[in-house]
Amino acid sequence: MTETNCICIKWGNKYGPEYVNRIQAGLRRNLTTDLRFFCLTDDAEGLNDDIDVIDMPTEPFETQMLSALAKAPKHGALRKVSLFRPDLIPDLSGPLLAFDLDVVITGPINELATFAPGKVCMRAVWRRQPEGHAIGQGSVIRFDPKLHGYLYDRMAADPEGEVGRAFGSEQTYTSMTAKRAGDFEFFPDDWIASFKYNCRPSRPLNLFLQPKLPPDTRVVCFHGHPNMHEAIDGFKSDIFHRTRACDWLKNSWID
């Protein structure tokens, strides 16, 4: 049977090991192929035994990159650059699907792995972008380190310049660098949903209606608040920003 390669990064203590384990479980439920699942991490405690653990590397250009990030409009960590190293997984065959930890697998994943072969694939960001200048949203990325190792090499060669051109944004760096190389394709919008923008009813309906799962959604992204554990039982930050309890989320993320 064909194998699908998937990976995530667990770095620091914001997310516990259960987030990694639940992504693995969700992928297994929604793939018709075998799954090889990797986790790039600085702490493997609590991860399922059948997850292939990769130690978080210290990149030789990390000091320069972090210094540039401290001066950039966005102060991320650009940890995903390590995923693009051609030697990260020496025996890897074929592309990798990379997932952020704040996502829930809700539908068929096979097409994400096979869509636009040879391209770097991301969903377009949810906010509108100027024609021809749309960037990719970084929660789900499909790439092949053997084909797209330049995403690592260019950062390694000029971390200050690359961080500056991307304004410190990891997803801007990845998508725009691949676009300039002619190697980029957007996933269909309806495959990857934002809980905040695509699932939660608009005000005031959010006070009465449960969040919906749009048709043909394969991955739901929980950027900002609420996070998954907040949305399951309902979330309230003030009188207007409320979310009703979400049954399908419990089924997809926990059960």
Residues whose CB falls within 8 Å of the CB of residue 48, separated by 6 or more in sequence, listed in order: 20, 21, 24
Confidence of residue 207 (pLDDT cuts 50, 70, 90): low
pLDDT tens digits, one per residue of 50-86: 999 999 999 999 999 999 999 999 877 789 999 999 9
d(CA 50, CA 205): 43
Indicate whether 148 pLDDT > 70.
yes
Contact yes or no for 227/220 (Cβ under 8 A) = no
pLDDT classification of 230: cutoffs 50, 70, 90: confident
Q: Give the pLDDT band (50/70/90) at residue 87.
A: very high
Range name among 40-49, 111-120, 142-151, 205-214 with the lowest pLDDT average: 205-214
* Rounded Cα gap, residues 22 and 64, in angstroms: 35
Name the pLDDT band for 114 (thresholds 50, 70, 90).
Answer: very high
> Exposed (0-12), middle (13-18) or buried (19+): which is 134, by Cβ within 10 Å?
middle
Residue 44: which residues within 8 A CB-CB, separation 6 or more? 51, 53
Domain boundaries, the chain: 3-187, 191-253
pLDDT of residue 206: 67
> Which among 199, 138, 142, 200 is positioned nearest to 166, based on CA atoms?
138
- Give the whole-angstrom CA distance, residue 29 versus residue 109: 9
Please provide the size of the chain in residues: 255
175 vs 227 pLDDT, higher one = 175
Predicted confidence (pLDDT) per residue in 166-190, tens digit: 999 999 999 999 999 999 999 999 9
CATH number of 3-187: 3.90.550.10
Distance in angstroms (rounded) separating the CA atoms of residues 14 and 253: 18
* Residue 215 exposure: Cα atoms within 13 Å on the Cβ side: 0
pLDDT of 132 reads 63
Note whether 192 and 165 are within 8 A (CB). no
Please give the share of the chain, as a percent, with pLDDT higher than 90: 76
**Residue 195 C-alpha from the chain's centroid:** 14
Residue 136 has a pLDDT of 96
- For 154, phi then psi, to 5°, come to -70, -35
